[in-house]
Amino acid sequence: MAVAAWRMIAPLDKPADRLLTRYFRDHRELGVHDRGFIADTLFGMLRHKRLIEHLAGDSGPRLLVLVYFVKLAGLNLHGMQPLLSRAEMQRLQKIKAQRTDDLALAIQSDFPDWLVEKLRHFMPDADILALGRSMQNPAPLDLRINTVRASREEVLHSLRSDGVDAQLAPYSPTGIRLKKRISLSRHPLFLTGKLEVQDEGSQLICYLTAPRRHEMIVDFCAGSGGKALLLGAMMQNRGRVYAFDVSDKRLANLKPRLKRSGLSNIFPQRIAHENDAKIKRLFGKIDRVLVDAPCSGLGTLRRNPDLKWRQSQQAVAELAQKQSQILERAAGLLKPGGRLVYASCSILPEENEDIVNGFLSQQPQFRQLHCGNILAQQGIALDTGEFLRVLPHTHNTDGFFAAVVENSNA
């Protein structure tokens, strides 16, 4: 089963989760446990794809799966013997005994060569290896409390009463972290809108936005609305949060979340592009703008390990052009004294610092604010400097970047 599923998704011409969903749709006879086993195997293989391909050589999908089982998933080779040919057994014994700590950095970190070369421009090899290894592990399940519905203490107590190993998230005042992933779709806390799934790094970006009651806020690239919902709750259901996105599907995913949340200050609106008339009407009127820019997503490899094999240098360069255009257009929404947060879930400077520095060099009326100072004002003890940079191997979050600029025109 796992071999057939790997054969189907291995070309990675589409996102792995979408391909896996298609595989399960074509094999409805598979039960819950079989589906879970296949999904865990395939995503584990994607996290270690380069290593298992190196160890297996030019062999086919079956040996790739077997290498993953015996070298990385901890299956007992002796117990697998009845399922193996003599040649497979001998090959796997050699692979299991093979050292991997002397392999090339790109193989150990499980990054493509082009990404390693980019990382080497601003990160030593030891940090690249630590980053890569951290991204080979699944992410913890981070939750965000909806403070309109409940307090963090109430939700934490309820989860622990249900036997869930839940802890306070280390940074976000509304965050809770679960050591083990559980299904929440039918949990009463989820159904009543008291909690949402949201990575802690994503939550911190909203705290940089620091919205206040009665303000007008724009979430420029809202997606399915996780950040817009947190902004609305931080405003205590006062003011207005415009949730803009170009995708009807993503905005449709916001509707049930908004209904559960109890918020009435969120206004989802589809836009055709960054020059849409709906945006023009708000020029110079907005207090805060959050731009969670479309990006390579390379900070989310714990969740989306296939991305490192579907992205390319050319795609990153094209995204950087788009990011600059979006930032420039979004900044026009701000009134004098207004604040803009530019964020991405990329780890590359050309999608992050370079975009912000390029913008500031062309827009002298804007000045950069210190992210660490803004977080400290809200009781968050996290100072990564002028920019916010969080990474899985240092903060146990997805890789996020953010910068804050202010329209200083009087």
pLDDT digits (tens, 9 = 90+) for 312-325: 999 999 999 999 99
Q: Tokens 């976000």 appear where? A: 172
What is the separation, in whole angstroms, between the first and last Cα of the chain? 65
Alpha carbons 45 and 40: distance in angstroms, whole number: 9
In angstroms, the Cα distances linking 319 to 88, 102, 311, 325, 331 are 44, 35, 11, 10, 18
pLDDT for the residue 410:
58
pLDDT score, position 182: 86
**Quick one: which of 326, 360, 364, 361 has its CA closest to 343?**
326
- Which tokens belong to 409? 């025109």
State how far Cα 330 lies from the chain centre.
Answer: 22
Q: What are phi and psi of 219, to 5 degrees?
A: -95, 100
CA dist 281 and 243 (Å) reads 15
- The pTM of the full predicted model, rounded to 2 decimals, is 0.94
Check pLDDT > 80 for residue 409: no
What domains are defined for the chain? 2-111 (no CATH), 200-407 (3.40.50.150)
pLDDT of residue 183: 86
Q: How confident is the model at residue 282 (pLDDT cuts 50, 70, 90)?
A: very high
Q: Give the per-residue pLDDT at 357.
A: 97
Burial of 102 (0-12, 13-18, 19+ CB in 10 A): exposed
pLDDT band for position 274 (50/70/90)?
confident
Please give the structure tokens belonging to residue 172: 């976000």
Q: Which long-range contacts (CB under 8 A, 24 or more apart) does 156-164 make?
A: 158/189, 159/189
> DSSP secondary structure string, 147-172?
TTT--HHHHHHHHHHTT--EEE-SS-
What is the DSSP pairing of strand 400-407 with strand 334-344? Answer: antiparallel
Q: What is the pLDDT of residues 114-171, one digit of tens each?
A: 999 999 999 999 999 999 999 999 999 999 999 999 999 999 999 999 999 999 999 9
Q: Which of 228, 251, 52 is nearest to 146 (CA)?
A: 228
What are the C-alpha distances in Å from 329 to residues 93, 145, 237, 294, 364?
58, 32, 27, 14, 15
The reported pLDDT for the residue numbered 1 is 81
Q: How high is the pLDDT of residue 273?
A: 86
Q: Which helix (H) or strand (E) holds 216?
A: strand 216-219
User: Catalytic site residues?
Assistant: 345
The stretch 105-121 carries a mean pLDDT of: 97
